[in-house]
Amino acid sequence: MTLFPTSAIMCIWTILHHLPIISSSFLRCKLFNRSIHTPGSLIKFSMSPRILFSRSVMSDDAFIDAFSRIGLTDKKTKEIIKNKKVSKSLFDIINEAPKPDSIYDDKTISLLHALAVECKGADVPNRHLVTNAIVDGRLKSNLQVSEAYKYVNSHPDANNSDMEKHSGVGVEVTEDDVRKHIGNYINENKQQIEAKRYAGVPALLGEVKKIPELKWAAPQLFKPIIDEKVLALLGPKDERDVVKKEKKKKEKAPAQKEKTEPVRSMFSEGFLGDLHKPGENPQMYPELMKEHLKFTGGKVFTRFPPEPNGYLHIGHSKAIMVNFGYAKYHGGNCYLRFDDTNPEAEEEVYFNSIRDIIDWLGFEPWKVTYSSDYFDELYELAEKLINIGKGYVCHCTAEEVKAQRGMKPDGTLGGERFACPHRDRTPEVNLAEFRKMKNGEYKSGEATLRMKQDLTSPSPQMWDLVAYRVLNAKHHRTGDKWLIYPTYDFTHCLVDSFENISHSLCTVEFRLSRESYEWLCDVLHVYRPAQREYGRLNITGTVLSKRKIAKLVNEGYVRGWDDPRLFTLEAVRRRGVPPGAILSFINTLGVTTSTTNIQAVRLDSAVRNYLDSTTPRLMMVLDPIKVELVNVNDDFKEEVEIPYKPGDAKFGSRKVSFTKTIYIDRSDYRDNVSAEYFRLAPGQSVGLMKVPFNISVVKVDKDDNGNVTKIHAKYENEEHKKPKTYIQWVPEDNLKISEVRIQNQLFLSENPLALPEGYLKDINPDSELVYKNAIIEPSFAEIKAKSPMNIPIEGSEFNIPEKGGPYTVRFQALRVGYFCMDKDSTDSDLVLNRIVTLKEDSKK
């Protein structure tokens, strides 16, 4: 077979496109208002079209031609070409069929399409075995096609006879067989069927399909036979069935409502929904797939690979959820792999923080590994790279390397590229030089190991990347053992390969790296995992970069890396945001290949919704004024029972003592009544939450500055009057709060980094307001003792139980906001953070 350069292929393709090799003499096809006139077989081509087409970028026209050629209707074609991956597979399947220009019957077309849907654009070696078996009628059902596909896809050495075995070719199951097996099953499970009556029939259908002898039976046979047998056993439906059905309808009403809005899962749709199945990632050496699958057992294997050089931020929670979540969703495993190849930047505290945050988000690593675990293996592969002539030691300066890579004086790429003068030394020389690097005979900057890639490639990732550099740094785990360290480009793909990763999921800025990733695995002849890239998550109105946050911390703008106004995950956790709220939020955003830029207020709103269903309510006043009831005795006391969450019995309730002295918030009193003001004022009584009667002002004490110090009020317990509104109050036996910290956005603008005068000039002066006199009802102690309450949200996949920590003591302060306990609290001093406001601030 001759191999054609791409341009030649495209040229032949163009000719073919206009003069297709169609056996019928004329085929006129009107599609999408396009008319293709195709005269008969003017040119006979000796080469199989599959070779020509599979590598070129396919246009819709090419698909339409091919699909109409086999007899697909216009409507169906239109539908199929909406999905490019399926179209590509169908196109390849048609061309790999024994006679690519045949017209097929509907059944065959539908099975070929089913095969294309299984493949979803993947290149599957030996797929033609399945295609042929469809075309010659051996495979008759979708199930058979699916099983045949599964077999060839997981067996690089697939053969015809095993494929037939796996897909039940030639197995005949007659209607009598079906009747016999269903009859046996019903006899054996008579009691259960009688108990469930007709309500159990749908499940029964599922059960009998699992009977091994019926695996290859025609599916349409089952239902009528079951109906017939059940009728014989139970007799006709009677009121027992009708009653149950109605009752069920009533009970199910809310759930059914939910069903009409299908639960969206980021794992089953979008970017993650379209990923290949394990075993489907293409290999240069298919035999390596066998070993890979032996290790993974066909499970999904992912990894979350943080560099332990900083704290994780909110964007990383997406990466954590994508990697851990995807593996979990598919019953697979996810490694936590510390990518510790930059010993200078790594610190113990980051390792610990990262582990802790992943645990808090509810994920458990299958294994915790370190890139440094593989330094020996990586070194060996570096020597192999040299030995096969694909690696060389370079002594150029950084400037010289940049020039070789075509960097122009203005710092942009695009100049002429040329080879490093050391590129063509022999493997022996390179090996000796590399060992010198390893043995400390070169200082940092004097030598690097570079990959011998392809300088003619348009991708900068192919211009002889650095694989190893000299670095005289002590490593956190390997100590002084190494004086050279592998780069990200050398390490990442190889460690993914060592760890048998099926899906190496990273963010889009690594898109170009995919080429060098695959190149390196292939030249070193190791299993090639599939790197796939999704869009980053950014929160606007803040900064996420380590360097920028470090400045805020070091210059005292914030309390530390976990200051609740920041968006490191330590900060978000300290602020009181529950992990389940973060995961649900990310799930609703979904995963695509585009960057998601989200305003912080949108995260807040997701958090608010989450807290609304998971927190108890307490009464707290930020700025208390004493209220004394003038018309009750000194020992007056009414126990007021207040549910922790009205309408939700599982939260329980508490008793609050309503006595002669209570406290209300300063903002709930005014000297004058006005049109829009419904709270307490002379002449305007107000209701107190859950207290039977209103109170009204009798007299007000003020200090020299005119500030109210005490309100003398009347408890209007003689007659019930409906107040204009209710306010919260705190009893006399309250708890003093040392500090309530009301956190607002740290920056004034949505894009602080765009400010010419710098982001530090954009700091919101009111980003943290502190109340030092706040008080709260004593039931706070009970809530604290019961925390973490871990109240699940019904129907949510993201109920992440927390183990403990001050931030798990969360509550809604009625009319004030959602709060949690801050880590600065001690046994005697309570400090609270505001998690979010009660309602979205309309100004934002």
Active site residue 307: yes
Q: How far is CA 656 from CA 618, 651, 777, in A?
A: 10, 16, 8
Tell whether residue 536 is a contact of ligand ATP (CB under 6 A).
yes
Query: CA-CA distances (angstroms) from residue 727 to 652, 694, 793, 798?
Result: 22, 10, 28, 34
Residue from the set 130, 289, 537, 607 that interacts with ligand ATP by CB under 6 A: 537
Helix, strand, or coil (residue 818) = strand
Between 324 and 374, name the residue whose CB sits nearer to ligand ATP.
Answer: 324
Least separation in angstroms between CB 491 and ligand ATP: 12
Q: Shortest gap between Cβ of 445 and ligand ATP (angstroms)?
A: 23
Q: Is 542 or 734 the residue whose CB approaches ligand ATP more closely?
A: 542
CB count, 10 Å around CB of 431? 17
Residue that has been written with the tokens 């699992």 in this structure: 210
- Give yes or no for residue 208 binding ligand ATP (CB under 6 A): no
Residue nearer to ligand ATP on the CB measure, 131 or 531: 531
**3-state secondary structure at position 519:** helix
For ligand ATP, the closer of residues 307 and 623 by Cβ is: 307
Count of positions on this chain that bind ligand ATP (CB under 6 A): 14
Q: Given the rule CB under 6 A, which of 537-545, 639-647, 674-682, 810-818 is the region that contacts ligand ATP? A: 537-545
Nearby residues of 323 by Cβ (< 8 Å), 6 or more positions away: 302, 303, 304, 334, 505
Residue 210 CB neighbours (<10 A): 9
Which CB, 548 or 626, lies closer to ligand ATP? 548
| Nearer to ligand ATP among residue 405 and residue 511 (C-beta) | 511
Site map 255..294 versus ligand ATP, x via CB under 6 A: ----------------------------------------
Distances (CA, A) of 271 to 274, 322, 642: 5, 10, 48
Sign for the pseudo-dihedral over CA of 61, 63, 66, 69: negative
Catalytic residue among 207, 269, 307, 628, which? 307
Can residue 70 be called a binding residue for ligand ATP (CB under 6 A)?
A: no
The least CB distance from residue 554 to ligand ATP, in Å, is 17
Q: By CB under 6 A, which span of 165-173, 191-199, 531-539, 716-724 interacts with ligand ATP?
A: 531-539
In angstroms, give the least distance from the CB of 36 to ligand ATP: 45
| 215: annotated active-site residue | no
Q: Report the side by side order of strands in the sheet with 775-776.
A: 620-621, 775-776, 735-736
Q: Do residues 812 and 818 lie in contact, with contact meaning Cβ atoms separated by under 8 Å? A: yes
Residue whose C-alpha is closest to residue 541's, from 763, 744, 749: 749
Shortest distance in whole angstroms from residue 321 CB to ligand ATP: 9
Q: How far is the CB of 349 from ligand ATP (least distance, A)?
A: 15
Nearer of residues 256 and 593 to ligand ATP, judged by Cβ: 593
Q: What is d(CA 369, CA 153) in angstroms, rounded to the nearest whole number?
A: 30
DSSP 791: P
Handedness of CA 645, 651, 657, 661 (dihedral sign): negative
Does 741 help bind ligand ATP (rule: CB under 6 A)?
no
Which of 507, 744, 764, 837 contacts ligand ATP by CB under 6 A? 507
CB atoms within 10 A of CB 493: 26
- Structure tokens given for 777: 């009802």
CB atoms within 10 A of CB 197: 17
Residue 528 is a catalytic residue:
no
Helices (H), 646-734: none
Span of 149-157, 391-399, 460-468, 538-546 interacting with ligand ATP by CB under 6 A: 538-546
Choosing from 69, 138, 390, 536, the catalytic residue is 536
What string marks each residue from 317 to 336 as x (binds ligand ATP by CB under 6 A) or -? -xx-----------------
Instruction: Identify whether 788 is preceded by a cis peptide bond (ω within 30 of 0).
Output: yes
Give Cβ neighbours of residue 753 (< 8 Å, ≥ 6 apart): 543, 548, 759
Whose Cβ is closer to ligand ATP: residue 546's or residue 660's? Answer: 546
Closest residue by Cα to residue 45 from 86, 6, 4 = 4
**Nearest-CB residue for ligand ATP:** 315
Site for ligand ATP in 539-598 (CB under 6 A): 544, 546
Q: Which is nearer to ligand ATP, 4 or 329 (CB)?
A: 329
Residue closer to ligand ATP (CB basis): 506 or 695: 506
Give, in order, the Cα–Cα distances in Å from 638 to each of 617, 632, 641, 654, 696.
20, 11, 9, 13, 18
| Closer residue to ligand ATP, CB minimum distance, 118 or 496 | 496
- Residue 551 C-beta: closest distance to ligand ATP, Å: 14
Residue 506 engages ligand ATP in binding (rule: CB under 6 A): yes
Q: Confirm if 764 and 747 have CB atoms less than 8 A apart.
A: yes
CA angle 84, 87, 88 (to 5 degrees): 85
Min dist CB 319 to ligand ATP, Å, is: 3
Q: Which of 305, 313, 312, 364 shows the shortest CA–CA distance to 340?
A: 305
Helices (H), 261-370: 270-273, 287-296, 314-320, 326-329, 348-360
Q: From CA 153, how far away is CA 127, in angstroms rounded?
A: 8
Q: How far is the CB of 323 from ligand ATP (least distance, A)?
A: 8
> Could you tell me the smallest distance in angstroms from the CB atom of residue 536 to ligand ATP?
4
Which residues in the 234-253 window bind ligand ATP by CB under 6 A?
none
**Per the residue annotation, which of 76, 180, 546, 710 is the catalytic one?**
546
Between 155 and 536, name the residue whose CB sits nearer to ligand ATP: 536
How far is residue 478 CA from its own chain's centroid? 33
CB of 527 to ligand ATP, least distance (A): 20
Closest distance to ligand ATP from the beta carbon of 374 (Å): 17
**Which listed range, 532-540, 598-606, 652-660, 799-807, lies at the site for ligand ATP (CB under 6 A)?**
532-540
> Which residues ranging from 288 to 317 are in contact with ligand ATP (CB under 6 A)?
305-307, 315-316
**Span near ligand ATP by CB under 6 A; candidates 268-276, 396-404, 433-441, 533-541:** 533-541
**Strands, E assignment, 668-707:** 687-688, 695-702
Residues making contact with ligand ATP (CB under 6 A): 305-307, 315-316, 318-319, 506-507, 536-538, 544, 546
Q: Which residues are catalytic?
A: 307, 536, 546
